[in-house]
Amino acid sequence: MLTFPREEYLARIAKTKERMQKEGIDCLLISQQANMNYLTGYDGWSFYVHQCVIVSLQQEQPIWIGRSMDANGARILSFLDDENIYEYPDYLVQNPVEHPMHHVAKIIQEKGWDKQTFGVEMDQFYFTHRAYLELEAKLPNAKFVDANALVNWVRVIKSPREIEFMKIAGQVAENVMQAAVDSINVGVRECDAAAEIARAQYRGTAEHSGDYPAIVPLMMAGEKTKTPHLTWTETKFKADEAVLLELSGVYRHYHSPIARTIFLGQNPPPIMTETAEIVTEGLAAALDSIKPGVVAEDVEARWREAIAHSSIVKESRLGYSIGINYPPDWGEHTISLRPGDKTVIQPGMALHLIPGIWYDNVGFEIDASIVVTETGYEHLFDFPLDLVLK
């Protein structure tokens, strides 16, 4: 049941070990679910308890350590041999005294790795402060260093099969946004529209299933268009108000985010139409600048240059890298299209450009999810950029 060929997992591990050697890391303890999946194929909703994958320079395969009831999931879905799948007893789950990291430390000691340099993901969602303290206490002779985004940077260049998955996610994204456009009408409850969006996300396409997104449907209507990242209520949509949408199509946890703006009426205020025109113009200019060899901050600079004739100011980043991910974020935590990011754009990178504008009197969002090619870029989905009037 492997999602990718065994050889692809081994190639990813080899690249990870190259980065480990450069940074003086003997063992890498990975807790981020996307990175665990990327390196082993393990995919389960078990990231609410402590689990990890450890990559050692002394061993070809990583080892997986998790809750006993989840170990068969690792045996079914990962490429790992059974001898590299370890389980801890259930009494350690949410135990106020003993901790799963005690079991992890015991395995590390048995492997003879307890005096080595460990890289840990210090700023990831699933690696808690207590987990770090327990590891430190149980492994007093080990050295711990921050390897927060080490695997994330290995992930930043996508394989052809990963790009194929993201294009399938893009097809799902088209269906998801169309479901939103069809279901959002005056008098409809926000929660009912959200239900139709979620249905489209899970349903996918005629050929492929959808998947759960790392971020739930975000929809901001009326006064809430002054800010992003809000969700639905039972409130009904009203005439002559805007609705901002941040959604995503997902396939095998690979994301193609999609954002658009709806106006529930035929006569949007001039400030909205003007904002839409300028933002669309700026996004087109930024996209036109993307090609291998360009620096990430220069893409954002091209956006600012294109809108310089207007009064629009966007203080947040223009975009970021995307790929495989789990809740609570579909961003890859590597490339940010903003001043100071000197990352050189390369073929196989996937980027989400979302020039959202949130003012007190207007909100507007559109976006583009793309993959960088040898000569430029390719869209992951095809959906009109226009302000949708209903």
User: How far is 320 from 110, CA to CA, in rounded Å?
Assistant: 41
Q: For residue 328, how many other CB atoms are within 10 A of its CB?
A: 9
| b/e per residue 198-222 (b: at least 16 CB within 10 A) | bebbeebbeebebbebbbbbbbbbe
pLDDT value, residue 242: 97
Taken in order of first residue, the domains within the chain and their CATH numbers are: 6-155 (3.40.350.10), 160-389 (3.90.230.10)
The sign of the dihedral angle between the CA atoms of 342, 343, 346, 348 is: negative
pLDDT value, residue 1: 81
Mean pLDDT of 84-109: 98
Cα 323 → chain centroid: 6
What are 186-220's pLDDT values in tens digits? 999 999 999 999 999 999 999 999 999 999 999 99
User: How far is 217 from 352, CA to CA, in rounded Å?
Assistant: 16
Residue 59's contacts (CB-CB under 8 Å, 6 or more residues apart) are 84, 111
Query: What share of the chain in percent tops pLDDT 90?
Result: 98
List strand residue ranges (DSSP E) for the chain, in order: 27-30, 52-56, 63-67, 85-88, 117-120, 143-146, 218-221, 242-251, 254-263, 319-322, 331-337, 350-353, 357-358, 363-364, 368-372, 377-379, 388-389
What are 24-75's pLDDT values in tens digits? 999 999 999 999 999 999 999 999 999 999 999 999 999 999 999 999 999 9
- Residue found by looking up tokens 């082993």 in the block: 40
User: How far is 373 from 349, CA to CA, in rounded Å?
Assistant: 8
Nearest to 147 by CA among 241, 32, 48, 63: 32
Backbone angles phi, psi at 81, to 5 degrees: -70, 155
Give yes or no for residue 362 having a pLDDT over 90.
Answer: no
pLDDT value, residue 30: 98
Mean pLDDT of 274-279: 96
- Residue found by looking up tokens 């700026």 in the block: 282
Backbone angles phi, psi at 352, to 5 degrees: -115, 110
What are 114-165's pLDDT values in tens digits? 999 999 999 999 999 999 999 999 999 999 999 999 999 999 999 999 999 9
Q: Average pLDDT over the chain, rounded to whole?
A: 97
Nearest to 15 by CA among 38, 34, 37: 38
Residues in the chain: 390
pLDDT value, residue 379: 98
**Residue 106, CA atoms < 13 Å, CB-side half-sphere:** 10
User: How far is 220 from 203, CA to CA, in rounded Å?
Assistant: 24
Q: For residue 141, how many other CB atoms are within 10 A of its CB?
A: 8
User: How far is 357 from 335, CA to CA, in rounded Å?
Assistant: 21
Nearest to 149 by CA among 176, 166, 182, 127: 127
